Amino acid sequence: MILPKLSAAILSMALLGSAYAASSLDPDISIDQWVLMSGATNGAADAMGVCDEDLDKHRNTARAHLTRYASEHGARIEQFDAMFEQGMIEGKKLVTDRSNLTSAKGERLLTGFHRDKSIDYQIVKNALDT
């Protein structure tokens, strides 16, 4: 049930400005869904014109933190890149399909993206543990 939850999570990410804000919507989000949401954040930021260097930093930070979290909890992320790419496609689509995305929502999304690209592991862990 990754994709139905992904739609709601992507929408919350856009409204709340961070992939990790989705924990307030559904405490039962799987690690795979976190990867998809991080990819969606990245794809949405890409659609809004963020530079490749920031996109790469965000992706690497998400990979490091989510892989570490999975390892600490006895899980594995089998296909990080494939799931992240799927999320990116959905995030880009969200922004592209919402040409009426208000500047305030777009600004929150970009603020969240920039926060997430350098986010401390403990903040991610706390969000995932919620």
> What's the burial of 121, exposed, middle or buried (CB within 10 Å: 0-12/13-18/19+)?
middle
pLDDT one-digit tens code per residue, 59-99: 999 999 999 999 999 988 889 999 999 989 988 888 887 66
pLDDT one-digit tens code per residue, 5-35: 556 666 566 556 577 766 655 667 788 888 8
Token pair of 84 as six digits: 């992240």
Q: What is the pTM of this model?
A: 0.85
Distance from the first to the final alpha carbon of the chain = 20
Q: Domain residues of the chain, as ranges? A: 29-129
Residue that the structure tokens 């592209």 belong to = 96
